[in-house]
Structure 1
Amino acid sequence: MPLLLVFLGGMLGAPLRYLTDKVIQARHDSVFPFGTFTVNIAGSFILGSLAAAVATHGLPPNVLLLLGTGVCGALTTFSTFTFETVRLLEDGSLAEAGLNAIGSLLVGLAAAAAGYALLTWL
């Protein structure tokens, strides 16, 4: 059953990531990977919120498997983040590469903490 929940969540998260990335990136005329940055930050916030909901509100662990591991696992993407950062470096876009790497880490951590704090507060 847990494997099925992760699988079903991934079936939702992967196309959501792809479509969100395409829509957001199409709105920016920039080498910076806004689409990947956005899905990773959103996924961090959602996962932080889900973790708090399990810890403080009794959200069933199976929901965390479906939405956290499945949806957020497929929605967020470390491999694309690293690929795009390396691509920026290879293209000589050092500032954008640094902003992507450091910004993704800092803003992602802040988003997860904010999601956790918000759901704990509610």
Structure 2
Amino acid sequence: MKGIEFVFLAIGAVAGAFLRYKMASSPLLFGTLPINILIVNTIGSFILGIFSVLTFAWNLDSKYSLLVAIGFCGSLTTMSSFALETTKMFEDRYIANAGINILANVGLSIGAVIGGRLVMNLILRGGGE
């Protein structure tokens, strides 16, 4: 990675992380649903969708992908890449693959959180000794 590419990546990452932090620390709830996280994920997906089209339409240099797609959207949310890839599968008529992708991403992500919490709770409680 060249120096200027790193700068573009870093600027995007800092901006995305800052926005995510500000949104995640806001007490926005809809019942028990943390709507702030839903908003962040939706915004990130929307921005990545727009950018993915503009990249090809305007023949943008790869450093702008580092800035917007990888840096900003990657720091803002990991849902944006997942949403883009799944949308492409639907558009390409790989409906079964899109469904599997949705189930696998959501299921494995939630499963990993549950698994990590269980393991850490066991470690902190001294379980396994």
TM-score normalized by structure 2? 0.53
> Are 1:51 and 2:52 an aligned pair?
yes
**In 2 relative to 1, CA 43–14 (structure 1 residues): closer, same or farther, beyond 3 Å?**
same
Whichever residue aligns with residue 14 of structure 1, its letter is: A
Whichever residue aligns with residue 11 of structure 1, its letter is: V
**In 2 relative to 1, CA 29–47 (structure 1 residues): closer, same or farther, beyond 3 Å?**
closer
CA distance in 2 between counterparts of 1:27 and 1:44 reads 19
Give the unaligned 5+ runs of structure 1: 88-122
**Cα deviation 1:35-90 (Å, max 9, x = unaligned):** 22111111111011111101112233211211111011000046xx846xx57xxx
Larger relative contact order (Cα-Cα within 8 Å, sequence gap ≥ 6)? 1
Question: Could you tell me how far 1:2 is from its partner in structure 2?
Answer: 1.9
Whichever residue aligns with residue 8 of structure 2, its letter is: L
Structure with more of its chain in helix, by fraction? 1
Match of 2:16 in 1: 13
Match of 2:98 in 1: none
Root-mean-square deviation (CA, aligned residues, Å) is: 2.7
Higher Cα radius of gyration: 2
5 Å-filtered alignment, 1:95-110, equals none
Corresponding residue pairs, total: 83
Whichever residue aligns with residue 12 of structure 2, its letter is: G
Give the unaligned 5+ runs of structure 2: 80-105, 115-129
Secondary structure at the counterpart of residue 25 of structure 2:
helix
* Same amino acid, percent of matched pairs: 31
CA distance in 1 between counterparts of 2:49 and 2:78 reads 16
Secondary structure at the counterpart of residue 28 of structure 1:
coil
CA distance in 2 between counterparts of 1:61 and 1:29 reads 39
TM-score normalized by structure 1? 0.56
